[in-house]
């Protein structure tokens, strides 16, 4: 078989696991990423709006900075300094995250999944994912946490989700990926996963929802099975 995208017509198996993106799906750290980049952009006199930020969802720190620069040429040392500044500003926001910071519907969905015996994984591009999950008090709940250190090729490459599925011991056809980012939906679809997209940027997912508040997990899985 050729490398590349798995045809979505491929046979789908019963779902054995759920893989969640973190930022913008489990908790609204997307806002903190924006505020931290905005601080760097303001300091350096770079134009950067909330709308610009929407296109950065799911992208690695480096790719985000390159997009923010909009083609402006900057030497490697400066790139490293700006990325370090952004991360310092971002880390300062993490103290605001607590178990109360879960997005609507997430707690119930995770409980239902656990009760149903599904495996649970995180597939996040962030190098700070472990810390965020620690602040949320969710560390014990997830069987596998894949973060920005696990693979070389970041989303939209499928590598991270494939890595998480492998660590969970399931095939992509047995997993559902939850994503809020266009790059994340693309990554999951290229890996042969069914996808649930949350929010405006993830409308190309197999099943699109405005939030995780509804429908209940059983109905979500039923709807995915019939798409």
Instruction: Using CB under 5 A, list all residues that contact Mg ion.
Output: 21, 23-24, 58, 180-181
**Residue 28, interface with ligand BG6 (CB under 6 A)?**
no
Q: Which does 182 bind (CB under 5 to 8 A by kind): Mg ion, ligand BG6, none?
A: none
Q: Which does 159 bind (CB under 5 to 8 A by kind): Mg ion, ligand BG6, none?
A: none
**Residue 105, interface with ligand BG6 (CB under 6 A)?**
no
**Residue 61, interface with ligand BG6 (CB under 6 A)?**
yes
Q: Which does 33 bind (CB under 5 to 8 A by kind): ligand BG6, Mg ion, none?
A: ligand BG6
Q: Which is nearer to ligand BG6, 64 or 189 (CB)?
A: 64
Q: Which is nearer to ligand BG6, 33 or 119 (CB)?
A: 33
Give a three-class secondary structure readout of the chain.
Answer: CCCCCCCCCCCCCCCCEEEECCECCCECHHHHHHHHHHHHHHHHCCCCCHHHHHCCCCCCHHHHHHHHHCCCCCCHHHHHHHHHHHHHHHHHHHHHCCHHHECCCHHHHHHHHHHCCCEEEEECCCCCHHHHHHHHCCHHHCCEEECCCCCCCCCCCCHHHHHHHHHHCCCHHHEEEEECCHHHHHHHHHCCCEEEEECHHHCCCCEEECCCCCCCHHHHHHHHHHC
Among 57, 119, 135, 190, binds ligand BG6 (CB under 6 A): 57
Q: Which does 128 bind (CB under 5 to 8 A by kind): Mg ion, ligand BG6, none?
A: ligand BG6
**Residue 59, interface with ligand BG6 (CB under 6 A)?**
yes
Q: Is 23 a catalytic residue?
A: yes
Q: Which does 121 bind (CB under 5 to 8 A by kind): ligand BG6, Mg ion, none?
A: none
Closest CA to 156 of 46, 29, 67, 51: 67
Select which of 23, 147, 159, 180 is catalytic. Answer: 23
Smallest distance from ligand BG6 to CB 112, Å? 24
CA atoms within 13 A on the CB side of 110: 23
Residues 6+ apart with CB under 8 A from 127: 61, 87, 147, 148, 149
Mask for 106-135, x = binds ligand BG6 (CB under 6 A): ------------------xxxxx-------
**Cα first-last separation, the chain:** 25
Select which of 21, 147, 159, 180 is catalytic. Answer: 21
Q: Which residues are catalytic?
A: 21, 23
Interacting residue ranges for ligand BG6, rule: CB under 6 A: 22-24, 33, 56-61, 64, 87, 124-128, 148, 181
């Amino acid at each position: 078989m050729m490398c590349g995208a798995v045809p979505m017509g491929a046979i789908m198996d019963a779902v054995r696991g759920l893989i969640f993106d973190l930022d913008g799906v489990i908790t609204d750290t997307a806002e903190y990423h924006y505020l931290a980049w905005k601080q760097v952009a303001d300091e350096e006199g770079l134009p950067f709006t909330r709308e610009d930020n929407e296109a950065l969802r799911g992208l690695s720190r480096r790719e985000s900075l390159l997009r923010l620069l909009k083609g402006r040429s900057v030497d490697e040392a400066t790139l490293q300094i700006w990325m370090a500044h952004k991360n310092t500003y971002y880390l300062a926001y993490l103290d605001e995250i607590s178990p109360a910071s879960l997005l609507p519907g997430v707690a119930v969905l995770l409980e239902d999944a656990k009760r149903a015996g599904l495996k649970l994984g995180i597939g996040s591009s962030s190098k700070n994912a472990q810390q965020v999950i620690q602040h949320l008090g969710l560390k014990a709940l997830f069987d596998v946490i894949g973060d920005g250190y696990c693979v070389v090729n970041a989303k939209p490459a499928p590598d991270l989700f494939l890595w998480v599925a492998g660590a969970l011991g399931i095939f992509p056809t047995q997993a559902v990926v939850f994503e809020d980012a266009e790059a994340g939906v693309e990554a999951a679809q290229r890996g042969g996963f069914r996808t649930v997209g949350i929010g405006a940027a993830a409308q190309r997912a197999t099943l699109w929802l405005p939030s995780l508040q509804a429908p209940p997990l059983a109905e979500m899985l039923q709807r995915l099975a019939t798409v």
